[in-house]
Amino acid sequence: MIVSNARLLADFTETFWFPESASTFSAEVDSTYMMVLWICILFMVPITFCLFYFSFKYIKRKGEPAESQVSHHTVLEVAWSVLPCFLLVLMFVRGSIGYIDQRKAPEGSDTVSVKAFKWGWTMDYGNGVFHPELHLVVGRPTKLTMRSSDVIHSLFVPAFRAKKDIVPGRYNEMWFDPSIASVKVSDEKLAAAKAETKEKFANVFDPERYQFTEDGYTYFDLYCTEYCGRDHSKMQTVVVVHETDEDLKAWIKKYSGRPEGTTPADYGALLYSRRGCASCHSIDGSKRVGPSFQALFGTEHGLVSGENVKVDENYVRESILEPKAKVVAGYNPVMPAYKGQLSDDDIESIIAYLKSLAPTAAPATTAAAAP
């Protein structure tokens, strides 16, 4: 009975302090945290007791002398200076060992390269497959090689208890070994969520709303934790942990190009939200970091160099691959280059999508009208 109560209490304190524990690091970090917590309680309780007990016990009338005027006690003072140091050493050593474990990825880890930008993530799964979500396999150590194309970001997965800054101008690495797999929700639930999204939320699927991703997996939160500007708090994505390697491969395959039966314009719209265009280019005409895509194609606009340029297929292509070559007047040259990251078909799809957003667009190329 007592044992089970103690276990209940332990469960309660764990879930009170921490998010779900989903990597091989979590147990160690959590138990180190609880150790430090108990050490703090060990100090806090007597300090608080003495503080308030003395403060009330020794209240005296004005002018009444103190019972004691002792000014020091060297043995006592040396004792309370030196003894806590042993606890400090214990905490330091345990923390450092845990840190070293998180520092070096084991040989043969899977790797994913991560690009962080204002305000989104692109994970590179090789073979030209890029996606904002981070997908892993349970029990497989995975190393992230991370770079930033603008300012400092930081990748944080609370459920994995792991975090690392992403500093422009260098590659930072981190690794973890997920211990719990995501669960796939039932097809009906997914279909219902998708239908509702299409109906009410302009087809922008928000995993937060349903607690599962567009592909129907439950997920762990991934946050940016280094302040990076306007949409810092929106710079979130999800981590999905697959049961098996085959499952992950199947998921990657699904995103390895334009699926059959999808029009270029529709696929362009997907790329627009998936590859980070949306964070800087609106489709409703509002000005963000970059020019809006609304009714952009076919117009003419001024560049910082003073020249004018017509927004045609070649200009869009150049602006995706080498954004700094021709910068629109009134904007800063901050867009990262997508050279080598988009296939010809991808670029063609984005162009088709842009055309679909322009009022003069030929109806033949736009099967689905823009939202």
Partner 1 sequence: MSTTNVLNPGYASDSENYLKNSTGILSWMFTLDHKRIGIMYLIGILSAFALGGALALAIRAHLLEPDGTLFTNDQYNQVFTLHGAIMVFLFIIPSIPAALGNFLVPVMLGAKDVAFPRLNLCSFYLWVCGAVFFICALLGSGLDTGWTFYTPYSTTTDTSVILATFGAFVLGFSSIFTGLNFIVTINTMRPPGMTWFKMPLFLWATYSTSIIQVLATPVLGITLLLLIAERTMKIGIFDPEYNGDPVTYQHFFWFYSHPAVYIMILPAFGIISELIAVHSHKHIFGYRFIAYSSVAIALLGFLVWGHHMFTSGMSALTTIIFSALTFTVSVPSAIKVFNWIATLYKGSISLTTPMCYAISFIFLFTIGGLTGLFLGVLSVDLHLHDTYFIVAHFHYVMMGGTLIAFLGGLFHWWPKMTGRMFSELGGRISCLIVFIGFNMTFLPQFVLGSRGMPRRYATYDPEFTLLHQWSSYGSFILGMGLLLAGIVLVVSLYNGKKAPSNPWGAVTLEWQCTSPPPFYNFARPPVVGDPYDFHDLRWDALTENYVIDTPPRKVAPETLPLGTPAHAGGQD
Site for partner 1 in 328-347 (CB under 8 A): 332, 334
- For partner 1, give the closer residue by CB, 226 or 266: 226
In terms of CB distance, is 22 or 350 closer to partner 1? 22
| Nearest distance, CB of residue 95 and partner 1, angstroms | 3
Residue 131 or residue 153: which is nearer to partner 1 going by CB? 153
Say which amino acid occupies 75: V
Reduced to 3 states (helix: H, G, I; strand: E, B; else coil), residue 77 is helix
**Cα–Cα distance list, 142 to 126, 226, 290 (Å):** 14, 22, 34
Sign of CA dihedral 48, 52, 55, 58: negative
DSSP state of 363: G
The verdict on 12 binding partner 1 (CB under 8 A) reads: no
SS3 (DSSP) at 6: helix
Whole-number Å distance between alpha carbons of 349 and 342: 10
The letter for the amino acid at 66 is A
Tell me the closest approach of the beta carbon of residue 39 to partner 1, in angstroms: 7
Spatial strand order of the sheet with 130-131 comes to: 130-131, 120-124, 110-117, 142-148, 172-176
Beta-bridged to residue 238, according to DSSP, are: 221
168-197 residues near partner 1, rule: CB under 8 A: 168-170, 172
Of the candidate spans 136-144, 153-161, 257-265, 356-364, the one that interacts with partner 1 by CB under 8 A turns out to be 153-161
CB of 45 to partner 1, least distance (A): 11
Which of 27, 44, 204, 367 binds partner 1 (CB under 8 A)? It is: 44
Which region, judged by CB under 8 A, interacts with partner 1, from 137-145, 158-166, 194-202, 250-258? Answer: 158-166
- In the bound state with partner 1, the residue whose beta carbon lies nearer, of 284 and 300, is 284
Q: Write out the binding residues for partner 1, residues 46-105 only, by CB under 8 A.
A: 47-48, 50-52, 54-56, 58-60, 62-73, 76-77, 80-81, 84-85, 88-89, 91-92, 94-103
Binding range to partner 1, per CB under 8 A, among 29-37, 306-314, 315-323, 346-354: 29-37
Return the number of the residue (131 or 164) whose C-beta is nearest partner 1. Answer: 164
Quote the least distance from Cβ 173 to partner 1, whole Å.
Answer: 8
Give the DSSP H or E segment for 78.
helix 74-103
State the nearest-atom distance from the C-beta of 235 to partner 1, in Å.
10
Does 154 contact partner 1 by CB under 8 A?
A: yes
**Could you tell me where the DSSP H helices lie in 127-263?**
187-200, 207-210, 245-254
Which residues from 202-231 bind partner 1, rule CB under 8 A?
A: 208, 221, 223-231
Chain positions 255 to 314 lying near partner 1, rule: CB under 8 A, are none
The stretch near partner 1 (CB under 8 A) out of 41-49, 131-139, 248-256, 348-356 is 41-49
Strands of 134-137's sheet in order across: 134-137, 236-242, 220-224, 153-157, 162-166
List the structure tokens of 317.
């292509």
Q: Which is nearer to partner 1, 223 or 255 (CB)?
A: 223
- CB-hemisphere CA count at 13 Å for 323? 14
Instruction: Say if residues 111 and 146 touch (Cβ distance below 8 Å).
Output: no
Report the alpha-carbon distance of residue 15 to residue 38 in Å, rounded. 16
Alpha carbon of residue 319 to chain centroid:
27
164 is an interface residue for partner 1 by CB under 8 A: yes
Q: In whole angstroms, give the CA distance from residue 271 to residue 261.
A: 16
Closest to partner 1 by CB, 249 vs 324, is 324
Binding residues with partner 1: total (CB under 8 A): 92
Q: How far is the CB of 307 from partner 1 (least distance, A)?
A: 24
Rounded to whole angstroms, the Cα distance separating 145 from 153 reads 13
